Chains A and B, each alone.
Chain A
Amino acid sequence: QVQLVQSGAEVKKPGASVKVSCKASGYTFTSYGISWVRQAPGQGLEWMGWISAYNGNTNYAQKLQGRVTMTTDTSTSTAYMELRSLRSDDTAVYYCARDGSERFLKDWFDPWGQGTLVTVSS
């Protein structure tokens, strides 16, 4: 079955970086993209950005520009999200979700990874 499995929980200090992985299985990885969505404790869903596993194109949320980098490794069907200069308000559960292979495709997020809790605390 189509599945996304994410890396485990992380605890980081303010100013550090975190890199979360998302391993895909059950489908042709390069035929789709991956979006990353985060959810602060008790809050709603915030889209962070998207990467095409087809051609590596990316698009990031404006508020995260300069701090986030999304990459893929097609040899292992794995997507990565790195967030730098962490602050306390970056504490959240980070999700990957399968998305369209190109920008502007009106695909839906299905399925989602199980989520990775990133805690930023001194």
Chain B
Amino acid sequence: EIVLTQSPATLSLSPGERATLSCRASQSVSSYLAWYQQKPGQAPRLLIYDASNRATGIPARFSGSGSGTDFTLTISSLEPEDFAVYYCQQRSNWPGTFGQGTKLEIK
């Protein structure tokens, strides 16, 4: 099973700052990686798929990069509604696995 390790576990930033979240795979997943956002009491929402493609309706301040084993989700300038938990998911090895999540909190 491919293990995804997200870092940091918690990230404390202020609105307007840049956020950089990391997801590392235990073996190569090529570009078969997605990012999801989950706000309290809500279902996860697809943000980025195939490592770098924004899902429909996702603002341009969200971007994804990486391939192989190292991936990054970047939020260029944090808005108040961006504070949430972010999960990465790989599907190189079906059915896929999730990372443990990064909580992005307001500093």
Which A residues form the contact surface with B (CB < 8 A)? 35, 44-47, 50, 59, 61, 95, 103-115
Contacts and interface: CB of A to CB of B under 8 A. Distances in A.
B34 A47 contact: no
Given A44-B87, A108-B34, A115 B95 contact: no
Contacts of A109: 34, 36, 44, 46, 89
A33 to B, nearest CB: 10
Interface in B52-107: 55, 87, 89, 91-92, 94-101
Nearest to B36: A109
- At the interface, is chain A mostly helix, strand, loop or mixed? loop
Contacts of A115: 43
Given A44-B87, A47-B96, A108 B43 contact: no
Nearest to B29: A106
Residue of A46, A108, A114, A115 most packed against chain B (CB within 10 A) = A108
A44 B103 CA distance: 11
B43 A95 contact: yes
Contacts, number: 54
Contacts of A108: 34, 46, 49, 55, 89, 91
A44 B89 CA distance: 12
Contacts of A112: 43-45
Contact of A44 (B34, B49, B55, B98): B98
12 contacts: A45-B36, A45-B44, A45-B101, A61-B95, A95-B43, A106-B91, A106-B94, A108-B34, A108-B89, A109-B34, A112-B44, A114-B42
Contacts of B55: 108, 110
A59 B94 CA distance: 10
Residue of B42, B91, B100 most packed against chain A (CB within 10 A) = B91
A113 B43 CA distance: 7
Contacts of A110: 46, 49, 55
Interface string B31-45: 010101000001111
